[in-house]
Amino acid sequence: MVNITHKSNTLRQAIATAVVAVSSEATIAAIKNNQVPKGNVFEMSKTAGLFAAKRTSDMIPDCHPLPIEYTHISFEVKDLEIHIFVEVHTIYKTGVEVEAMHAASVVALTLYDMLKPIDKGIEIHNIRLVEKKGGKTDYKEAAEGLTAAVIVCSDSIFAGKKEDKAGKAIITHLERYAIPATYTIIADEIADIQSNIKKAVDAGTSLVLITGGTGLSPRDVTPEAVRPLLDREIDGIAETLRNYGQDRTPYAMLSRSVAGTIGNTLVIALPGSTKGASESMDALFPAVLHIFKVLKGGRHE
């Protein structure tokens, strides 16, 4: 199966539909009057659909087992067609569109099985996804016009004793959203950190990402450098980084990452390890880009 461990849980919703076409008005009348020999067509097929939604991963090899937290199945009769609608919700790392379509398919097959003794001309068609919500695609904000500054804080990298990988990993993530970035390596000095942040802000940079210096060693001073410059601290960003990291390593609780705004510039201090920096970008993007809409007076939607 596809690796989804880097993803975060969000509310995922999907609606799927299928159509069962019968060949005579008599079949529709038998359904409405509950005169089908095999029993109540709608109740039986709805039950089958509920089972199908929950067991999709048993049938479709690449589907991940996930908690189905809501399923609603409804029917609409139009002339000689029975339209099936299946809505599925979960709070998980991946979507439920296949679960909804699988359930719609099984509902349709159950209708076929129950009706075939009285109608030999039944057809199933138009099984499709009507709507899906949730996941990164819903939160992907337009990054057009945004710029970034990536600042690597490390005594050893600045001295040429170690190669930077964390800063380059951050730039790779930014490239996915076509956000151009400047790249600077500095020592772990409060004055140098503040100077480079101010330079980026004065240049009108949208996003300043600092990697390194958020731990507890004597030379880790990035939070002390960043916090006094902030107009408004955004606790939720740092909380999200630690919560995301804690699911992957017990040491994430030791991170002192901090985030906030200076004017219209968003400043975020990320961990200095390559893995920590990369995972932090996974945790924040693209949802964090919504802040630039808010800073311009936009609303949360």
- Annotated catalytic residue: which of 113, 155, 220, 282? 113
Note whether 267 and 260 are within 8 A (CB): yes
Q: By CB neighbour count within 10 A (0-12 exposed, 13-18 middle, 19+ buried), where does 218 fall?
A: exposed
Nearest of 190, 192, 185 to residue 170 by alpha carbon: 185
Burial annotation 129-150 (CB, 10 A radius, 16+ → b, else e): eeebbbbeeeeebebeebbbbb
How far apart CA 193 and CA 220 sit, in angstroms, is 11
* Range 48-69 burial, b when 16+ CB lie within 10 A, else e: bbbebbbbbbeeeeebeebebe
* Catalytic site includes residue 113: yes
How far is residue 32's CA from residue 270's CA, in Å, rounded to a whole number?
62
Reading the block at residue 176, the tokens are: 């996915």
Q: List the beta strands (DSSP E) in 58-165.
A: 70-78, 81-92, 123-133, 148-153
Geometric angle at alpha carbon 118, from 120 and 22, rounded to 5°:
55
Would you name the residues annotated as active-site residues?
Answer: 113
